[in-house]
Amino acid sequence: MPAQAHIPPPAFMRIEIGDTRTQITIGIAPDVFPAWFRFETEDGAFDLEQRKTVKDVLAACLNVRIDGLSANGALQPASIEAFEDHMRLWKYVILELRYESKVPPKQVSVVWKGDAVDGFYVFTEMDAELEAYGDMLFPSFTEEEPEFIWHRPVAQTQPPTVALPPRPEPTHYPLPLLSVLCMLSMIAAHMVWPKRWNGWLLATTVVMLAFCAVLTRKVTVDLPIPGKSAPTRPPDDEALAIFASLHRGIYAAMEGEDEAKVYDQLEENVTADLLQPLYLDIRQSMVLQEEGGAVARIRKTEIVETSVLDEREEDAPWFKVKARWRVVGRVGHWGHTHERINEYLADATIVTQDGRWKIAAIDVLEETRVDDGEEVK
């Protein structure tokens, strides 16, 4: 369903909390800005007197305390930013304050009192969005409740790890052929010329051992392990459990902020060829074009139904699964939040690579948006 149109607020606040910097951004509609600060701006440029007015008004209305200590924010150069929403263009004057700290904060208090300055018609109520360590909160400042206090969770951890499916039992042993030949040559040389090489014994041994180490993985020959047959497709119930584990691992990886770590965790669940295309597809699927290109955060996934497809031989080391699942995401946008639910139907191919079950292909058959796009309270 198409998202329902909404009118962006005349002003909004965004709070970003990091290890050494807390940043507060306030967006004000150009037609509202003169009532707040008693002057107009078309390009966000202020002269010295106007900048002082902005700083004084914000200092009176906005109070920030980090770990119980009052913090003074450094006002950054203002700007005008435009946002497209439902085919309309909305402009805001962007004011940005940065609060530096030497250590990661345990608590941040933000107080907004719009009526703190006589004669300046600053809003007493303000909706905000707060982002801290991957979490999103949506506080509202009112005359009755002008303060919001953020507390650092007890443990800030990496994205949740998911138990990997069991490895197929190895059936071959990689024999380092060149290393073996190098070792045999060294042994033969010492046996044939034991005395002649006596003076060069130590140097020769060191050099030959170094060659053996370098050549260990250059050329290998897979020798079959006695009693171990080639990996075959697992029983259907085990195959579905393997897919579910890999599927959870993919979306758990996508919760991360560090792109390198996201790729590392994805690599545990998908083959190398699928790694980048899958990453880009998932990221793109959570972009809300109707909300000015904002990106939703994945909150949870739910597998609706799965079945094993009979498109492989009994002894093939791969299998295919048809799966339907839903992805729930939320996006903070101009001080409020929207929920996005996408449903997918796809065929997934699972193979063995690097001694582990991994998803090698995901062929999406259907992609449907199942939410109504309404604002989440």
Q: What is the DSSP string of 47-74?
A: -HHHHHHHHHHHHHHEEEEETTEEEPPE
pLDDT at 361: 92
pLDDT at 173: 56
Dist CA 222 CA 373 (whole Å): 55
Contact at 8 Å (CB) between 29 and 37? no
**Confidence tier at 321 by pLDDT (50, 70, 90):** very high
* Domains and their CATH numbers in the chain: 11-151 (no CATH), 172-224 (no CATH), 236-376 (3.10.450)
* Statement: residue 20 has pLDDT above 60: yes
Question: Mean of the pLDDT values across residues 346-371?
Answer: 88
- Which of 80-84, 155-159, 228-232, 343-347 holds the top average pLDDT? 343-347
More confident residue, 308 or 216: 308
Dist CA 375 CA 7 (whole Å): 12
- Which of 43-52, 92-101, 256-265 holds the top average pLDDT? 92-101
pTM (predicted TM-score): 0.51
pLDDT at 376: 45
- Which of 64-78, 135-149, 157-171 holds the top average pLDDT? 64-78
User: What phi and psi values does residue 308 have, to the nearest 5 degrees?
Assistant: -85, 130
pLDDT at 355: 74
* Statement: residue 345 has pLDDT above 90: yes
**Confidence tier at 71 by pLDDT (50, 70, 90):** very high
* Statement: residue 85 has pLDDT above 90: no
Q: In the chain, what percentage of residues exceed pLDDT 70?
A: 67
Q: What confidence tens digit (pLDDT) does each residue in 89-131 have?
A: 778 899 999 999 888 998 999 999 887 777 677 788 888 889 8
Question: Mean of the pLDDT values across residues 317-330?
Answer: 89
Q: Structure tokens of 33?
A: 């800005």
Q: What confidence tens digit (pLDDT) does each residue in 288-317 have?
A: 544 544 566 787 889 999 999 876 555 667
Going by C-alpha positions, the residue among 99, 111, 104, 109 that lies closest to residue 71 is: 99
